[in-house]
Amino acid sequence: MARTPKLTASEADGVQYRRAATWQIALAQLNNGSAMIFYTLIGLLSYLQNAGYGIAVAVAGIILTATRLLDGVIDPLLAMVIDKVTFSFGKLRFFLVVGWLIRIFAILMLFVWAPDKGFGAPFFIAMYALYIVGSSTNDIAGNMMGPVMTNDPRQRPMVGVWGTVYSYLVPTIFSLISTVLILPRHGNQFTVGMLKETAIVFVICSFFFQLLAVIGISPADKPENFRHIEHNDEGVSVGDMLRFVRDNRAFLRYTVAAASDKVAQQIGAQAVVTTMLYGILLGNIQLATILSVGSMLPSIIFAIFGARYAGKHGSKKAFVTWTWACLAIGTAALALCFAIDMRSILKSLPLMILFFGLQLVLNGSKMCVTTAAGAMRADIVDHELDRSGKYLPGVVTATYNFIDQIVSSSSAAIALGAVALIGYTTVMPQPTDAPNGAILVTALFLFFGVQIIGWVASLFAMAGYKLTREEMIAVQKRVADKKVPIADDLEGVTTQVAI
- Strand (E) or helix (H) holding 245: helix 238-247
More confident residue, 269 or 479: 479
Predicted local distance difference test score (pLDDT) of residue 210:
96
The residue-averaged pLDDT of 102-128 equals 87
**Minimal CA–CA distance to 100: which of 20, 30, 194, 150?**
30
**Minimal CA–CA distance to 60: which of 48, 52, 49?**
49
- Least confident range of 263-277, 327-341, 383-397: 263-277
* Distance (Å, whole) CA 84 – CA 234: 9
**Most confident of the ranges 167-176, 323-332, 376-385:** 323-332
> Is the confidence at residue 18, as pLDDT, over 90?
no
> Is the confidence at residue 356, as pLDDT, over 60?
yes
* Distance (Å, whole) CA 159 – CA 304: 10
What are the distances in angstroms from CA 338 to CA 12, 90, 199, 273, 333? 49, 56, 45, 16, 9
> Is the confidence at residue 25, as pLDDT, over 90?
yes
> Is the confidence at residue 431, as pLDDT, over 60?
yes
C-beta separation of 194 from 185 below 8 A:
yes
* Distance (Å, whole) CA 321 – CA 317: 6
Q: What is the three-class DSSP state of 153?
A: coil
How would residue 65 be classed by pLDDT, with cut points 50, 70 and 90? Answer: low
The residue-averaged pLDDT of 457-461 equals 94
Predicted local distance difference test score (pLDDT) of residue 138:
93
The pLDDT tens digits for 291-323 are 777 777 788 888 888 888 998 899 999 999 999
Q: Is the dihedral of CA 297, 301, 304, 310 positive or negative?
A: negative
* Distance (Å, whole) CA 356 – CA 191: 37
Predicted local distance difference test score (pLDDT) of residue 288:
66
> Is the confidence at residue 455, as pLDDT, over 80?
yes
**Minimal CA–CA distance to 448: which of 335, 372, 296?**
335
> Is the confidence at residue 16, as pLDDT, over 90?
no
The one-letter amino acid code at 36 reads M
How would residue 66 be classed by pLDDT, with cut points 50, 70 and 90? Answer: low
C-beta separation of 368 from 306 below 8 A:
yes
Helix, strand, coil share of the chain (percent; to 5): 80, 0, 20
- Let me know if 417 is exposed, middle or buried by CB neighbors in 10 A (0-12, 13-18, 19+): exposed
> Is the confidence at residue 231, as pLDDT, over 60?
no
> Is the confidence at residue 229, as pLDDT, over 80?
no
**Minimal CA–CA distance to 43: which of 190, 211, 189?**
190
Domain 236-493: CATH class, spelled out: mainly alpha
> Is the confidence at residue 495, as pLDDT, over 50?
no
How would residue 191 be classed by pLDDT, with cut points 50, 70 and 90? Answer: confident
In total, the chain counts a number of residues equal to: 499
Shared fold status for 14-224 and 236-493: yes
CA-based radius of gyration for the chain = 24
> Is the confidence at residue 26, as pLDDT, over 60?
yes
CATH hierarchy code of domain 14-224: 1.20.1250.20
> Is the confidence at residue 483, as pLDDT, over 50?
yes
For 180, residues 6+ apart whose C-beta sits below 8 A from its C-beta are none
- Let me know if 296 is exposed, middle or buried by CB neighbors in 10 A (0-12, 13-18, 19+): middle
For 315, residues 6+ apart whose C-beta sits below 8 A from its C-beta are 153, 156, 157, 372, 373, 375, 376, 379, 467, 469, 472
Q: What does the domain layout of the chain look like in residue ranges? A: 14-224, 236-493
Burial state string for 375-407 with b = 16 or more CB within 10 A and e = fewer than 16? bbbbbbbbbbbbbbbbbbbbbbbbbbbbbbbeb
